[in-house]
Amino acid sequence: MELKQLSIEDQRTDVDVVRNIVEMVTGVSILAKNRKRFVVEARMIYSTLLREAGYSLPFIAETLDKDHTTIIHYVQSLKDLKETDMHTMRKYLRCRELFLSEKQPVNLVDDCENLRAEIYLLKEELAQLKIADESRLMKIIKLIEENTPVGHELIVERKIRKMFDD
């Protein structure tokens, strides 16, 4: 990863922008002195965004009043969490999108990465929908569709209604 050499003013601006975005999207203060999951997730998103922007671990740690090893843990944990928790993935993507829109010019590589992540989320949702389709009633409907000759639908419907009326 290429680390950028930015002026102190540019660094502080990025830090403030990322902090404001993450706090707005997550609804929590990343500087809060507690270890509640939603606060830690916000810090993970913040740390990851700054790391992806090229900031050093010690610099990010300093902005959170943490140790650089904590930032390593945050970045790795968010990477793992994004694969299993779609809600966290959406928050991260929203923060990333807002942060990148603040920066000029638009980077097509970043746009491609965002699209890949969105495709991943959509595939996960599709897989969940397919699982929902395999309900016990869908199996019965498939069985009826496979075994009912064309034109005999009313006969099958009458037999099913009779079965439930008894």
Q: Is residue 2 part of a domain?
A: no
Same domain for 153 and 115: no
Determine the distance from the C-alpha atom of residue 83 to the mean position of all C-alpha atoms in its chain, rounded to a whole number.
8
What does pLDDT average to over the chain? Answer: 85
* Helix pair angle (86-102, 108-133), 10° resolution: 160
Same domain for 145 and 103: no
Same domain for 140 and 116: no
Q: Is residue 1 part of a domain?
A: no
Domain that holds residue 33: 8-132
Q: Is residue 63 part of a domain?
A: yes
Please report, as a single letter, which amino acid is at residue 32: A
pLDDT at 98 over 60: yes
Neighbours of 40 (CB within 10 A): 19
Task: For residue 134, give Cα distances in angstroms to 145, 157, 160.
Answer: 15, 22, 21
What pLDDT digit, counting tens, does each position of 36-48 carry? 999 999 999 999 9
* Rounded Cα–Cα distance for residues 73 and 94 (Å): 22
pLDDT at 55 over 70: yes
Neighbours of 18 (CB within 10 A): 26
* Helix pair angle (57-64, 37-52), 10° resolution: 140
pLDDT at 129 over 80: no
Check residue 68 and give its pLDDT. 94
Q: Which two tokens stand for residue 127?
A: 């897989």
* Rounded Cα–Cα distance for residues 33 and 39 (Å): 9
pLDDT at 26 over 90: yes
| More confident site: 119 or 9 | 119
Structural domains in the chain (count) = 2
Check residue 110 and give its pLDDT. 72
List the CATH number of the domain containing 116.
1.10.1750.10
pLDDT at 3 over 60: no
pLDDT at 151 over 50: yes
Same domain for 159 and 96: no
Same domain for 140 and 126: no
* Mean pLDDT in residue range 73-96: 91
Same domain for 60 and 106: yes
What pLDDT digit, counting tens, does each position of 27-38 carry? 999 999 999 999
* Rounded Cα–Cα distance for residues 81 and 116 (Å): 17
Supply the DSSP symbol for 146.
H
